[in-house]
Amino acid sequence: MGKSVVIIGGGIAGMEAAGCLTKMGVDVTIVEKNDRLGGHLRNWSHLFPTRRPAQEVYKFLEKGIAGKVNVHLDTRVSKIKRDERNVFTILENGESLKSEALLMTMGYDLFD
């Protein structure tokens, strides 16, 4: 297919998207600000409403991307640029990731 996507955020949504995209032949890179993938999922015991163990879900998602996705951990994005065809995701260390699309799956914060 020859397509490429950068995913900002390596939580449950980013991991699921990466797995689906790689199955379609897309070259995927995940940029995650934390030192590991999984986001909030890593702090949960079970998922609602099925009570499926969160660790089981994480392992399933991890298996779907293992060896297929480029991952940048402990990394923040400093700037995003684009031209007619490409998106350039500039990382805090100055590295530039060129892709044809950008997917932002940066999670949530709980509030009252």
Condensed to tens digits (0 to 9), the pLDDT of residues 45-84 reads 999 999 999 999 999 999 999 999 999 999 999 999 999 9
Burial 47-61 (b: 16+ CB within 10 A, else e): eeeeeeebeebbeeb
Mean pLDDT, residues 85-89 taken together: 97
The three-state secondary structure class of 93 is coil
Query: pTM score > 0.75 for this model?
Result: yes
Mean of all residue pLDDT scores within the chain: 95
Cα end-to-end distance, the chain, whole Å: 45
What is the number of residues in the chain? Answer: 112
